Amino acid sequence: MKRTSTTLADGRELLYITTDDGAQHAPPDPRELPPVNTTSQMRRDPLLDEWVMMASHRQHRTFQPAPADCPLCPSAPGRRTEIPAPDYTVAIFENRFPSLATDAGLAPAEFDHALTDVRPGYGRCEVVCFTSDHHARFADLTPEHARLVVDAWADRTEALSVMDGVEQVFCFESRGAEIGVTLQHPHGQIYAYPFVTPRTRRMLDVARDYRANTGRDLHSDVVAAERAAGVRVLAETRHWVAFVPAAARWPVEVHVYPLRRVRTIPELTASERDDFATLYLDLLRRFDRLYDGPLPYISAWHQAPRTDHEDLSHLHLQLFSIRRAADKLKYLAGSESGMDAFITDVLPEDVAVRLNRLRSDEGAFHG
């Protein structure tokens, strides 16, 4: 992987990612841009002991522009975007409307609450453009291109993890207007949080209790149980296994684990990264053949936070969709939104059967 760094007109960093033998022209950004708003803040919920990020300036972020106005496409004569180059393979830049920023300002002086801490919204938010092709999907990438994205995730995880104050790095993709995506260009994001996220903290607590009670690793035992049962397994390769979890919360949900226990993406070997790229493309293509249109989904990497000194984490990908039928979405209604108690409308075993009928060897997906 080759990284070319440059700076946008407002001082944000832009990285072009290419293969080692690739060359990337990095022209300057000729736009006149206002300074980036870095007034986000964090407030700790005293009832849940969780940090809530508040970034009111994001109300004005770009919202579902026409393809001709997409800010993630390469620049062209008379049309300047976030990517000054006329073409690129993978591009990563600091978000223009960040929820967290390394130069976040001071917390509001007028805020006063005896039990709620408030802090500047320190951290970093990056946008990862998977391809310059506006009409492509991640599933349309070649295995070599998908592998380059994996390398980019690993590279950014390493770089962001060593920043002072960063506790956890989260690489993810949200796709589809149903999910709330405001830009349709194929892209993902990376958040560098100054805290351990609630889901990760909960998983660490459960894994700690499991180890104390059994002396064993929870994630490894979950993977072993799914492989032994077999009924929810979608694919097993030399280095990875993908399955619908037995207690899936979402209508379509797949977990992808490396068979070798590692904590973060950078720890994956070259063979493991190659193997994942091929498997991941297969899963995404199955998702897009499930109904008559692209499936809205979230693809979320779960990596160890810096403070996991007990070695409780196990790297895995959670891939899920809110579509429960061709014409129906799963909404987080009263039980889910009010109590965080999920009710699912489909059995995981039935989802596994349907996805297994859509294996890549039964016909390739064409976007």
Residues belonging to the active site:
187
Residue 191 near residue 123 (C-beta atoms within 8 A): yes
Closest CA relative to residue 17, chosen from 138, 126, 141, 145: 145
Taking the C-alpha atoms of residue 301 and residue 310, their distance in angstroms, rounded to an integer, is 20
Strands 124-129, 90-94: pairing kind? antiparallel
Look at residues 83, 298, 292 and name the one whose alpha carbon lies nearest to residue 179. Answer: 298
Whether the CB-CB separation of 17 and 151 falls below 8 Å is answered with yes
What's the one-letter identity of residue 155? D
Q: Please choose, from the candidates 97, 108, 127, 122, the residue with its C-alpha nearest in 3D space to the C-alpha of residue 34.
A: 97
| CA-based R_g, the chain, Å | 21
Q: What's the CA angle centered on 163, arms 160 and 192, to 5 degrees?
A: 45
Q: Is 77 exposed, middle or buried (0-12, 13-18, 19+ CB in 10 A)?
A: exposed
Nearest to residue 245, comparing CAs of 233, 236, 235, 237?
Answer: 233
Residues forming beta bridges with residue 190, ordered by sequence position: 126, 171
How many angstroms separate the CA atoms of 254 and 269, rounded? 22
Angle ∠(95,100,106) on CA atoms, nearest 5: 130
Q: How many residues comprise the chain? A: 367
In a 10 Å sphere around its CB, with 0-12 CB exposed, 13-18 middle and 19+ buried, how is residue 32 labelled? exposed
Q: Which residues contact 73 (CB under 8 A, 6 or more apart)?
A: 67, 81, 83, 132, 134, 185
Bridge partners, 173 (sequence order): 299
H or E stretch at 93:
strand 90-94
